[in-house]
Chain A
Amino acid sequence: MVESTGFEGLAINAWLIWILPFVGGVLIPAIAKKTNQRITNYSAVGFALVSAIFAASLLITIPSGAEIHNQVSWISALNIKAGILADPLSIIMCNIVGWISFLIIVYSVGYMHGDRDIIRYWFWMLFFIGSMQLIVLSDNLLMVFFGWEGVGLASYALIGFWYSDRKKDYVGREGHYVLGIPMWASPTHAGIKAFLMTRAGDVMMLSGMFLIFMHAGTFGFKELLEDQTWANNMMQHNLLVPAAVLLFGGAIGKSAQFPLNEWLLEAMTGPTSVSALIHAATMVKAGVFLVARIGPLFFALAVFNVEQFFEVVAWVGAITAFLLATQAIVNPEIKKVLAYSTGSQIGYMMMALGIAGISTHFVDGYTAGFFHLMSHAMFKASLFMAAGGIIHVVASRFMNDMGGLRKKMNKTFIFMTLSALSLAGAPLITSGFWSKDAIFAALLESNSSSGIALFWIAVIVAIMTAFYTFRMVGMVFFGKKSTHIQQIENEIKLPADSSGTASNDPNNEYKSSENAEKTEKSSLTKEKEHVHEVSPVMWIPFATLAVATVIIGLAGFLFEDELHNIFGNYLETYFGIGLSDTGSSVVQNPHENNANTNEEMIGGINIMAVIASVTAFGIGSGLGIIFYITRTKDPEIISRFTFTRKIWQFLYDRWYLNALIYWGFVKIPLYTYNLIWKYFETYIAQGLNPAIQFTMSYLSKLVKFTQTGVTQTYLFAFVAGILVVLLLLFL
């Protein structure tokens, strides 16, 4: 019943990685009932830690490149097996997920301190981690789908965690309408929105899954690879690429790619630790992971020409990267800037994974995408946790309510800036630089027609990324203190909902600094008590990650090379995707191969990519520094010209996408529904229901009538029954 290959003993560990968080989640309420708050917190941390340690225990198989594949029969009626597949891809991924989640859980101990619903919080956090690890480790699409839905459910519950909808938990500026649609959202609204939008992707994924299942009769990744007749079959019906794109639809939903990107912004209503978890370790990475999981599978069927699928992936990534980066430039809320940047960075990963499939070196794009996933996971988790600390202290999510925080929150400033540099792609010292550089290189070397176009989009996005990152750092830590901060320092109590309404006019983002000037001098005395550094349990987790990004950044090139080797071997061994385009199955040293085939490369580094990357960082960060850090130029200038103001407004209105989605999928369907309800349901459907009820109870009475309670009747029926049976037999 249990089939296992590879390291038998470790298979148990692999199962436990995803089972333990679920068990922990179930036990937390019981623990909370018997013990106190401290022990509950520690046990939640403990469960996350043990799960992460189990993940780390799998790392010993990486050098050998072996995989652990362990199956038990599950739905035997349909011959579906449950199983775990721990190959290098999922082992690395589950370590990223495990350890970052662990740090976030530690951070939550500080961040969620004193919340009265902490038990619910722990339950869903552990549930979230368990579901994500299930996606990462399962060996078939069906179990992936279960984890997928678990992640969706947990995200719904956590985004809407503060279900009492206090004004301070809203996102968006109150009073901001686009095409008649309000652009601010309460936590419950945001939770439902996230759930429904990802559901649209899930439905696509489900149909893709079942299309494949219909032809292959299995959901297992290994089985799909072993016997490829299904692909032949589907290709003849022109179904293979649609099925793959439908599967990718699930990834679009979960990873917030265009056109299902809008939920990600409202998802900022959850506790910031949840945002960190969603953006760094669990939810949005699930989509990228799915593409990384099925990408090689489809590429291995390359004889059947599935390039269109990879084209779709790459272009969706590119569009998203551009779309969200432009919006990040103008947004005034710190968490939303980070959210936009997540979508945009995920776009990079999709670009890389997509270009892998249409280029001659599959492994280059593949490694680049995955490397970026790793570095993004680290710096984004760090950024979110730091931002959470700032919001915690400042009690506002608007960046123009911050400013000049670098002295009071020294540690936060240092580590957040380090992670921000990584996001911006500061050359040579950050992991973000190396992974972005790898993507540029992959795009340049792809030898495909769309490669160059994608490359230029990537460069433009990189410029914008550097700019908005510096804008964020500048607005938060540099410049003068905002009125809001001064008010806090003056112990002036704000009205309860002031944070939502403090800056109704979108334009006054730029004016608040002027106001700040006027009131600044009045308060310099009591500030120490009010604006303060966050507690160690909060800053140590994000400091760890920030330092890790720099360490990986310093060793960036070697690290990338190692990753390249691991994935090269992985793809070669299990998918037969060679490193060379000749299709020979001989594993070649990536160094040699790169040096031989590409003249632009020196020692494995693509000069063109490095130049582009450094230039993009230079331009973007330069502009950011001028406008927001040294403040030699006033960003207000854009409001002086009608054209630039219009662009600003267009970006701030989210390209009207959100409004259009609301019109198309909420307003109009609701209107139609009302029509149906009014004319169809009240008249026709409600007339039919009693008819069914009446018929059934009449029949029931008829049957009851035979049950007289008189034994003679019973005997009569018995004998008559025998006669009928005999009659039937003789006929």
Chain B
Amino acid sequence: MIDLSSTPILIIILLGTVGLSIPVLDAIKKEKGKKKNKLFSGITFGTLIVAILIIIFRVIGGEPLPSMSFGPDVLVDDMFGSFFAITLLIVSIMVSASSWNYMRGIVNPASYYSLILLSTIGMVLIAYSTDFVMLFIAWELMSIPTYALAAYAKRDPISNEAAIKYFMFGALSSAILVLAIGLVYGVTGTTNIGESILILANNNLQSQSNQLIGGFIPISYLAIGLFVAGFGFKMGLVPFHMWLPDTYEGAPTTIGALLAAGTKKAGFAAAIRVVVIGMFVLSPDWSIVLAILAIITMTVGNLAALLQKSVPRIMAYSSIAQAGYILIGLAVAPYAAMGLEGSLFHILNHAVMKSVAFIAIAAFAIGIAGYSLDRYVGLGKRMPITAIAFTISLLALAGVPPLNGFWSKLVIFESAIDSGSVISWGPYLAIAGLLNSALSLGYYMWIIRKMYLDESKDTSRIKEPKIILCVLLFGMIFMVGFGIWHAPLLEFASISVPTQFDQILPTLEASLK
């Protein structure tokens, strides 16, 4: 049994209690809509802050956590989980705080915040889970509330369309995941991730001599492929990305932030623990699949974003492209020490950058009641602070030094070049990434140009929502501050992942005993 006082359990208890008691509170309290929104936003914000403090305290204080481990239990309290938990909680905190302004006047605030909290539990648990069943449950716990959240603007047909598409693909990917888990269980007889990887690896080693066991190998191939597709749906990899622009655009913008910055990262957490480690242990040659996907993903994402008219849609495509950059790190992970480290670093950075971008879009939407790029003209003067935050986040996404996005991209590309000493295609990933970064400036700069350089007829100041400003300010400090001094984040990322891949099997064996 796992320790009841371990961090994942504490998070479940804390967030679950609050998340479930918000609707109860809603029934008891007889206040009006706006006040309730503020109340629940405050409660959610406070709860999430407590949750993140628990994790930070666990990481800094007490005995040091193992970097990334697999145990016999369903959950494990390790650095890898903590890293993702902190990343995801930052996103949830930013989303819930900015909803104070953005979701003012919604019909049923209680369920909105309750669903955000429940979805957060799911995301955090994905990062911590070491068992396929646990992983799947967490996956569904994360996904199902977001289907409802995406459809939150009940009378808005676009929001409904977004939710329907999202739900259909969610259901499909869940089915694929169940199939993959079933295949693994069939071959190995266990649902524990670590154990099944170990068994498959041993089978793989024996398969050269034993024809019978060798027959299992194609099934494990199939399972890996299905995992890539299932997780790839959430990560937004091409060609599993088609739902993504429609959903990110149609869902309420704060929920867009939650999806783009939050659930997507949870997908990466699952993919790193299952696919990257599993793949490598079985046969590292497969990582070329991830490399090909990475190149296609970033190219398609950037090209598609180039001519869009709607800003949330541009951001949706940009997050597809960013998934491509992150995937580079995953693909070269077995060959370069910095690969996974860079990916994790970029995941954290991207979570903040994308949240800031979406939240700034939400603030603009409050101000000008529109999402179209043409309406952004002159916003640099009309909503100056929001505009500067948006600009910084766009520049950070493009990887302009000295912002944080530059450093994480640098580490990823550097690792891709380093991997050239082992595999010939490594450096090409870096080249593709660089070319794509240049291409991406095409639309990032376009937005900035619209906001600052183009003259608008209306130059009146628009009131900027206060809470959102605080959130954006935090984001700006994060992006600029960690751009100037990125060492702590990179160090945190590097202690969260295994750096020596040839040591994985022995440590796996040791941790399961």
Q: Which residues of A contact B (CB under 8 A)?
A: 1, 72-77, 82, 696-697, 699-704, 706-707, 709, 711, 713-715, 717-718, 720-722, 724-726, 728-730
Query: What residues of A have a CB within 8 angstroms of the CB of B442 in the complex?
Result: 696
Is the C-beta of B326 less than 8 angstroms from some C-beta in chain A? no
Contact of A725 with B229 at beta-carbon distance under 8 Å, contacts A74-B485, A76-B491 already known: yes
Contact of A75 with B487 at beta-carbon distance under 8 Å, contacts A714-B242, A722-B229, A729-B221 already known: yes
Knowing that A75-B487, A76-B486 touch, tell me 15 more A-B residue pairs with CB under 8 angstroms: A73-B487, A77-B490, A696-B439, A699-B303, A700-B304, A704-B304, A707-B242, A707-B245, A711-B164, A714-B165, A715-B169, A718-B172, A718-B242, A721-B239, A726-B222
Contact of A1 with B491 at beta-carbon distance under 8 Å, contacts A714-B243, A718-B242 already known: yes
Determine which residue in B221, B289, B338, B411 has the highest number of CB atoms from chain A within 10 A of its CB, and name it: B289
Cβ contacts A to B, 12 pairs, < 8 Å: A77-B486, A700-B303, A704-B304, A709-B246, A711-B164, A714-B242, A714-B243, A715-B168, A718-B169, A721-B229, A721-B232, A724-B239
Determine which residue in A1, A73, A706, A726 has the highest number of CB atoms from chain B within 10 A of its CB, and name it: A726
Contact of A718 with B304 at beta-carbon distance under 8 Å, contacts A74-B485, A77-B411, A729-B289 already known: no
Complex-state Cα separation, A153 to B439, whole angstroms: 32
B307 touching A718, Cβ below 8 Å: no
Is the C-beta of B328 less than 8 angstroms from some C-beta in chain A? no
A717 touching B242, Cβ below 8 Å: yes
Is the C-beta of B240 less than 8 angstroms from some C-beta in chain A? yes
Q: Which residues of B contact A (CB under 8 A)?
A: 164-165, 168-169, 172, 176, 218, 221-222, 224-226, 228-229, 232-233, 238-240, 242-243, 245-246, 286, 288-289, 292-293, 300, 303-304, 306-307, 338, 407, 410-411, 414, 439, 442, 485-488, 490-491
B154 smallest CB distance to A (angstroms):
21
B57 smallest CB distance to A (angstroms):
19
Complex-state Cα separation, A77 to B414, whole angstroms: 9
Query: What residues of B have a CB within 8 angstroms of the CB of A701 in the complex?
Result: 307
Can you name the residue of chain A whose Cβ is closest to the Cβ of B228?
A725
Query: What residues of A have a CB within 8 angstroms of the CB of B218 in the complex?
Result: 730
Query: Which residue in A73, A697, A729 is a CB contact (below 8 Å) of B491?
Result: A73
Complex-state Cα separation, A701 to B308, whole angstroms: 10
A75 touching B242, Cβ below 8 Å: no
Query: What residues of A have a CB within 8 angstroms of the CB of B164 in the complex?
Result: 711
Contact of A72 with B487 at beta-carbon distance under 8 Å, contacts A721-B240, A726-B221 already known: yes
Can you name the residue of chain A whose Cβ is closest to the Cβ of B442?
A696
Contact of A703 with B410 at beta-carbon distance under 8 Å, contacts A73-B491, A696-B442 already known: no
Complex-state Cα separation, A700 to B299, whole angstroms: 10
Query: Which residue in B225, B487, B490 is a CB contact (below 8 Å) of A722?
Result: B225
A697 touching B240, Cβ below 8 Å: no
**Which 6 pairs across A and B sit closest by C-beta, in order of nearness?**
A714-B242, A721-B239, A700-B306, A73-B487, A726-B225, A76-B487
Can you name the residue of chain B whose Cβ is closest to the Cβ of A693?
B442
Complex-state Cα separation, A724 to B225, whole angstroms: 9
B307 touching A77, Cβ below 8 Å: no
A68 smallest CB distance to B (angstroms):
21
Can you name the residue of chain B whose Cβ is closest to the Cβ of A702?
B303
Can you name the residue of chain B whose Cβ is closest to the Cβ of A720?
B239
Complex-state Cα separation, A730 to B219, whole angstroms: 11
A717 smallest CB distance to B (angstroms):
5
B151 smallest CB distance to A (angstroms):
15
Query: What residues of A have a CB within 8 angstroms of the CB of B168 in the complex?
Result: 711, 715
Complex-state Cα separation, A181 to B292, whole angstroms: 60
B172 touching A715, Cβ below 8 Å: yes
Query: What residues of B have a CB within 8 angstroms of the CB of A696 in the complex?
Result: 303, 306, 439, 442
Interface of A is mostly: helix
Can you name the residue of chain A whose Cβ is closest to the Cβ of B227?
A725
Can you name the residue of chain B whose Cβ is closest to the Cβ of A728?
B289
Complex-state Cα separation, A704 to B316, whole angstroms: 13
Query: What residues of B have a CB within 8 angstroms of the CB of A707 in the complex?
Result: 242, 245, 304
Query: What residues of A have a CB within 8 angstroms of the CB of B439 in the complex?
Result: 696
Complex-state Cα separation, A703 to B241, whole angstroms: 13
A14 smallest CB distance to B (angstroms):
18
Query: Which residue in A703, A724, A729 is a CB contact (below 8 Å) of B286?
Result: A729
Query: What residues of A have a CB within 8 angstroms of the CB of B411 in the complex?
Result: 77
A714 touching B486, Cβ below 8 Å: no
Query: What residues of A have a CB within 8 angstroms of the CB of B300 in the complex?
Result: 703
Can you name the residue of chain A whose Cβ is closest to the Cβ of B165?
A711
A704 smallest CB distance to B (angstroms):
6
A217 smallest CB distance to B (angstroms):
15
A77 smallest CB distance to B (angstroms):
5
Can you name the residue of chain B whose Cβ is closest to the Cβ of A73?
B487
A729 touching B242, Cβ below 8 Å: no
Determine which residue in B218, B222, B307 has the highest number of CB atoms from chain A within 10 A of its CB, and name it: B307
Query: What residues of B have a CB within 8 angstroms of the CB of A76 in the complex?
Result: 486-487, 490-491
B487 touching A74, Cβ below 8 Å: yes
B225 touching A725, Cβ below 8 Å: yes
Query: What residues of A have a CB within 8 angstroms of the CB of B304 in the complex?
Result: 700, 703-704, 707
Query: What residues of B have a CB within 8 angstroms of the CB of A724 in the complex?
Result: 239
B229 touching A718, Cβ below 8 Å: yes
Complex-state Cα separation, A701 to B307, whole angstroms: 8
Complex-state Cα separation, A74 to B239, whole angstroms: 39
Query: What residues of B have a CB within 8 angstroms of the CB of A713 in the complex?
Result: 242
Complex-state Cα separation, A730 to B217, whole angstroms: 10
Query: Which residue in B222, B289, B307, B486 is a CB contact (below 8 Å) of A75?
Result: B486
Determine which residue in B240, B242, B303, B411 has the highest number of CB atoms from chain A within 10 A of its CB, and name it: B242
Complex-state Cα separation, A697 to B246, whole angstroms: 21
Query: What residues of B have a CB within 8 angstroms of the CB of A709 in the complex?
Result: 246
Complex-state Cα separation, A74 to B407, whole angstroms: 11
Query: What residues of B have a CB within 8 angstroms of the CB of A728 in the complex?
Result: 288-289, 292
Complex-state Cα separation, A72 to B485, whole angstroms: 10
Determine which residue in A696, A701, A718 has the highest number of CB atoms from chain B within 10 A of its CB, and name it: A718
B307 smallest CB distance to A (angstroms):
5
Determine which residue in A697, A704, A709 has the highest number of CB atoms from chain B within 10 A of its CB, and name it: A704
Determine which residue in B221, B225, B338 has the highest number of CB atoms from chain A within 10 A of its CB, and name it: B225
Complex-state Cα separation, A707 to B300, whole angstroms: 11
B410 smallest CB distance to A (angstroms):
6
Query: What residues of B have a CB within 8 angstroms of the CB of A700 in the complex?
Result: 303-304, 306-307
Can you name the residue of chain A whose Cβ is closest to the Cβ of B168?
A711
Contact of A725 with B289 at beta-carbon distance under 8 Å, contacts A696-B439, A697-B307, A700-B306 already known: yes
Complex-state Cα separation, A540 to B251, whole angstroms: 69
B303 touching A703, Cβ below 8 Å: yes
Can you name the residue of chain A whose Cβ is closest to the Cβ of B313?
A707
Query: What residues of B have a CB within 8 angstroms of the CB of A725 in the complex?
Result: 225, 228-229, 289, 293
Can you name the residue of chain B whose Cβ is closest to the Cβ of A81?
B487
Query: Which residue in B222, B239, B289, B488 is a CB contact (below 8 Å) of A718?
Result: B239
Can you name the residue of chain B whose Cβ is closest to the Cβ of A713?
B242
Determine which residue in A74, A717, A725 has the highest number of CB atoms from chain B within 10 A of its CB, and name it: A725
Determine which residue in A697, A699, A715 has the highest number of CB atoms from chain B within 10 A of its CB, and name it: A699
Query: What residues of A have a CB within 8 angstroms of the CB of B490 in the complex?
Result: 76-77
Query: What residues of B have a CB within 8 angstroms of the CB of A1 in the complex?
Result: 487-488, 491
Complex-state Cα separation, A634 to B366, whole angstroms: 81
Complex-state Cα separation, A726 to B485, whole angstroms: 42
B306 touching A697, Cβ below 8 Å: yes
Contact of A717 with B239 at beta-carbon distance under 8 Å, contacts A73-B491, A74-B487 already known: yes
Can you name the residue of chain A whose Cβ is closest to the Cβ of B490?
A76
Query: What residues of B have a CB within 8 angstroms of the CB of A77 in the complex?
Result: 338, 407, 410-411, 414, 486, 490
Complex-state Cα separation, A706 to B289, whole angstroms: 22
Complex-state Cα separation, A720 to B338, whole angstroms: 33
Complex-state Cα separation, A720 to B288, whole angstroms: 18
Query: What residues of B have a CB within 8 angstroms of the CB of A717 in the complex?
Result: 239-240, 242
Determine which residue in B240, B245, B293, B491 has the highest number of CB atoms from chain A within 10 A of its CB, and name it: B240
B307 touching A704, Cβ below 8 Å: yes
A74 smallest CB distance to B (angstroms):
6
B162 smallest CB distance to A (angstroms):
11
Complex-state Cα separation, A77 to B487, whole angstroms: 8
Contact of A729 with B245 at beta-carbon distance under 8 Å, contacts A699-B303, A703-B304, A718-B169 already known: no
